[in-house]
Amino acid sequence: MAAQVYSKKDKKFPVLPNLADYEKLHAEFNWSEASKELDWFEDGKLNAAYNAIDRHAKGDRKDKLALIWEGAKGEKKQYTFLDLFKLSNKFANLIKNKGAQKGDRIFIFLPRIPYLYTAFLAILKNGSVAGLLFSAFQEQALLDRLSDSGAKILFTNSELAKRVEGIRSKLPELKEILIVDTPEFENELAAQPDSFETVKTDPSDFAFMLYTSGTTGKPKGVVHHHYAIVAQHATAKYVLDIHDTDIYWCTADPGWVTGIAYTILGSWSCGVTSFIDEGRFDPSRWFQKLQDYKINIWYTAPTAIRMIMAEGEDLPKKYDLSHLRHILSVGEPLNPEAIHWSIKTMGMPFHDTWWQTETGCISIANYPTMDIKIGSMGKPFLGMEAAIVDDAGKPVANDTEGNIALRPGWPSMMKTIWQRQEKYDSYFINNWYLSGDRGYRDSDGYFWFIGRSDDVIKTSGERVGPFEVESALVEHPAVVEAGVIGKPDQARGEVIKAFVVLEKEYLDKVKTTEEAQKLKDELSQYVKKHLAGHAYPREVEFIDKLPKTRSGKIMRRILKAKEMGQPVGDTSTLEEY
């Protein structure tokens, strides 16, 4: 069936897009020229934080608003580029006085408050490596990441610090925990000078790291270098279409790569005014913010879009959205219904974008002036070569399913997987980066997403590794073993479902439906408490045994196939099941 097309041919743009002709610029673009839009130090040195904030604070944008912030309780603060420059300098002096050196890992475990952003900038200015942690993380998730990274300093607040207390003794390399909402911290910060000489880092020096879940083992630390800002700046300019007069809202938390690349680095490098909201998601509240702050560009997630759609078509019509000119989504595939809905209710389509923690920037996208094939990922970003390849890394014909792959060499490609060279190497075959996603390319060059080639679960835009959830479940005294899958869900993309084998003594306790449901709820809450607020199973099923290979590997694909009523495929490597 032919895809429906949203044509841009006769579209009247309120502001002429930066990318007027995709095909022309894609043919002409090169990263060397693009890198000239950044400010470089002598001898080819480059610092990402300097480009995001310092260069604007030292130029014509010094008095321009950089950050408009609203807190969870309605508090409001505003910061110019000069304000952020001075405050991040204070943070940089503080950590330097605490002994932070170039290359040291310094982590941030905070909600979306202004200090999160200034701490991140300061870490990069000091030449250290910033690590971000979701405020939903519980003890085990924190221990895994802080231990593996060898974090030296942690920024947090009084409430979140309680989760660190129980694991502190297991983190010998963690020398300082800075609690930012105490008078002691405020006094110490106030005493710091507001000038700091930003470290002239090499483009290849590590800048920040994020842990992303895999299908086996512990989360892996994806490390990015300062050079990544070249691609983040270019994509913010051409995909997000940032102009100097824009007010921009990216709803992503910086614990997720989108919140770093497109709230801190790429977007501020383009000099945009960013709105940041600490509050929880609420459809009506969000539309109120779009109206009140006169947002021009809105970058959000399909899960939020689907939950907004559930409120009905009248919701957007209650608000003045006349200033909103460009809307985009990220995190998981955007279903066609969402695009039809936004055209009908808001007069414009959501533009889907595809990329990953490992790619560091938007890699395949729908662009402001390019026709949208509704449901498609779009086309590769400028300077990036994408293809569909087989498992040997050989390109396949159009309209043939295969691995979505990128040619290595773009500026924001991950620099390494922290202390796991073999894992890093496994991403590449025949000079292609394999994304782990499956898809196909049509004859017009548009890419189409089919699904994950591994078992990682995407729930509400967050990646959750089944191994982490299974490990948390097994720690409960009732559980012998568990297998976890992602189950399609209209609102969240996927929900987590756990298949649990119970200890014998508990089998007698779940003979009635009521008793069984009570234990299922207890297990869900147990994972929510011990792992993360978004990583718990919303469905639990008790089973007698799990499908496993003879080597003991849980075959999650079989669990998923049976759940979905699909063929289980080859079972020759299984134990008797």
Q: Domain total for the chain?
A: 2
pLDDT of residue 572: 41
184-to-8, 188, 190, 224 alpha-carbon distances in Å: 56, 6, 10, 33
Write the pLDDT tens digit of every residue in 201-231.
999 999 999 998 755 567 899 999 999 999 9
How would you classify the pairing of strands 65-70 and 76-80? antiparallel
Residue 570 included in any domain: no
Per-residue confidence at 534, pLDDT binned at 50, 70, 90?
A: confident
Please say if the pLDDT value at position 32 is more than 80.
yes
DSSP state of 574: B
Indicate whether 525 and 560 sit together in one domain: yes
Cβ pair 433, 487 in contact under 8 A: no
Average pLDDT for 282-302: 96
Share of the chain above pLDDT 90, in %: 76
Indicate whether 224 and 183 sit together in one domain: yes
pLDDT of residue 533: 84
Average pLDDT for 471-486: 88
Q: What is the C-alpha to C-alpha distance for residues 181 and 60, in angstroms, rounded to an integer?
A: 33
Range of the domain at 86: 5-441
548 beta partners? 554
Per-residue confidence at 567, pLDDT binned at 50, 70, 90?
A: confident
Phi, psi of 84 (to 5 degrees): -65, -35
387 beta partners? 405
Q: What is the C-alpha to C-alpha distance for residues 128 and 100, in angstroms, rounded to an integer?
A: 7
Q: Where are the beta strands (DSSP E) in 147-272?
A: 153-156, 176-179, 206-212, 220-225, 247-250
Residue 36 Cα to chain centre, angstroms: 27
First to last CA, the chain: 39
Indicate whether 464 and 426 sit together in one domain: no
pLDDT of residue 550: 45
Phi, psi of 399 (to 5 degrees): 65, 20
Residue 428 included in any domain: yes
pTM for this model (two decimals):
0.84
Owner of token pair 């983190």: 171
Give me the CATH number covering residue 151.
3.40.50.12780
Give me the CATH number covering residue 548.
3.30.300.30
Of residues 274 and 453, more confidence is placed in 274
DSSP per-residue codes, 163-197: HHHTTGGG-TT--EEEETTSHHHHHHHHTS-S---
Per-residue confidence at 450, pLDDT binned at 50, 70, 90?
A: confident
Please say if the pLDDT value at position 571 is more than 70.
no
- Average pLDDT over all residues of the chain: 93
Compute the chain's Rg from CA coordinates. Answer: 24
Please identify, among 441, 468, 484, the residue that sits at the C-terminal boundary of a domain. Answer: 441
